[in-house]
Amino acid sequence: MESVIVLVALFVFLFAGIPVGIALSTTGIVLLLMKDVPLASVSMEFLGSVNNFILLAVPVFLLTSNILLKAGVAKDLFDAVQRWVGGVRGGVAIATIISCGIFAAISGSSVAVAAMIGTVAIPEMTKRGYDRRFVMGTLAAGATLGILIPPSIPLIIYSAVAEQSTASMFLAGVGPGLFLIVLFLIYCIVKSFMGAAPKAEKNESGSGGRMAASLRALPTMVIALTMIVGIYAGVFTPTESAAVGLVMTLIYVFGIRRGVSFADFRGAVFGAGLTTANLLLIIAGANVFGKAIMLYRIPYEISQWIAVNIETAGMFMLAVTAVLLLLGLFLEGIAMILIVLPVLLPSLGVHGIDPIWFGIYFVLMIEIALITPPVGMNLFVIQSVAKSSLKEVMYGALPYVVIMLFAVLAIYFFPAIVMYIPKAGV
């Protein structure tokens, strides 16, 4: 009964519009006071939860993506990819998905990918006569790759909460990320031939144009490859990878490209700092809330209930999927990890579920949440960039929700999609 009351109280706060970090902190503090725990311990929990080397990568990735956004490098990358594949039917849609995948390997944030690629791809696709719903859905879904393909901020948070290796989590995201790109590309091609793309694409390629565009995009691709290959080869940790990516970005943007003013750079730093502060408040609040529910033995009660009432791993995953789909309609992805994961972790061992595999599954569910209303962040970013209606973006993104659910099903029946690379990298 206590479990139900606590969870209801938390969701009342959240649905009332109170920021997630404050809602978690307030609920946790009230629960601790009810157990006569001294309030002095709250400040210690706050500081302890953010004093983590792994979390240092979060502001660095955010700053890198903000600087790249201000520099406008998305146009160079998109132009290069589009010149190679843009001549075929649906080529610009294909270029959009591939560009999202490449930028995902730098930013770690789906919202950043949506903003960067959306500002370039949306005008290009609409100008060529692509179906607007198809355009909006492709951008909203393609941008979700930003949190699956490493580096990924949600995977960093998951690693910290689940006490798993961040490098292993990053490696586990590569296979599903490539698999999802292939599924998206297949849909784009099929949809294009069904009439969502013009029959004849304007071909701006030509060997000279292709090479020139590729050379302009080369620094961005070098940054992405350096970060991923460095982690896979064990040259540096994910946090060090973030620092290397930032240094390379600064050298490219200020030393070679020279495309960012001091005002833009200051705006990038301020934006990264604001987002980081918001994330750290959520993490700190979740830690206080987590300690409180541990005192009330809520995770153990739920785990015991699951162990008694849900006998198979399949039924457990089906129940968790239903819960995450529901929560994804109302909660932001990081909040989902911090609220739900501590409750579910004890149950993973009961059903023999690998926590690394579960982390990728969890992030796939967060991807679905990013393109489902009413709080799907990518929907609002694309709506803002395209100056379109939310309904138009929602309808365009709906087929991609089905594709992502298929991907969840695929990794359940074929876990090697997730686990092959991290096991090979050990």
Q: For the segment 306-346, what is each residue's pLDDT rounded down to a tens digit? A: 767 887 888 999 989 988 888 887 777 887 888 888 888 88
Q: Report d(CA 313, CA 332) in Å as an integer.
A: 26
> Would you say residue 417 has pLDDT above 90?
yes
Residue 341 inside a domain? The answer is yes
Averaged pLDDT for residues 73-102:
84
pLDDT exceeds 90 at position 97: yes
Query: To the nearest whole percent, how much of the chain has pLDDT over 90?
Result: 23
Specify the pLDDT at position 321: 92
pLDDT at position 287, please? 79
Q: In the predicted model, what is the mean pLDDT of residues 217-234?
A: 84
- The DSSP letter of residue 51 is -
Average pLDDT on 388-406 reads: 91
Please name which of 172, 171, 160 lies closest in space to residue 55, comparing C-alpha atoms. 160
- Residue 180 confidence (pLDDT) above 80: yes
22 occurs within a structural domain: no
Residue 4 has pLDDT above 70, yes or no: no
Please state the φ and ψ torsions of residue 38, each to the nearest 5 degrees: -60, 140
- Report which DSSP code applies to 426: -
Question: For position 404, what pLDDT does the model report?
Answer: 96
Digit-coded pLDDT (tens) for 361-380 = 999 999 998 898 766 888 88
Domain-embedded: residue 287: no
How far does Cα 171 stand from its chain's mean position? 15
Query: Does residue 31 lie in a domain region?
Result: no
Tell me how far apart the alpha carbons of residues 367 and 148 are, in angstroms, rounded to a whole number: 8
Residues 102-125 as b/e (b if ≥16 CB within 10 A, e otherwise) read bbbbbbbbbbbbbbbbbbbbbebb
With a cut of 90, say whether residue 414 has pLDDT above it: yes
- The predicted pLDDT at position 299 comes to 67
Find, among 136, 135, 156, 139, the residue nearest to 147 by Cα: 156
Say whether pLDDT at 205 is over 60: no
| pLDDT digit string, tens, across residues 236-250 | 888 888 899 999 999
pLDDT of 230 above 60:
yes
Kindly tell me if the per-residue pLDDT of 189 is higher than 60: yes
**Contacts for 355 with CB less than 8 Å, ≥ 6 apart:** 162, 164, 345, 348
In a domain, 16, yes or no: no
Question: Is 238 a domain residue?
Answer: yes
The SS3 assignment for 23 reads helix
Domain of 208 in residue numbering reads as 53-280+297-425
Q: Are 276 and 58 in contact (CB under 8 A)?
A: yes
In a domain, 266, yes or no: yes
- Please tell me the distance from the alpha carbon of residue 95 to that of residue 210, in angstroms, as a whole number: 13
The answer to whether residue 202 is domain-embedded is: yes
Look at residue 191 in the predicted model and tell me its pLDDT: 93
Q: Is the peptide bond before 176 cis (omega within 30 degrees of 0)?
A: no
Instruction: Tell me what the pLDDT averaged over the chain comes to.
Output: 84
What global pTM score does this model have?
0.83
Structural domain count of the chain: 1
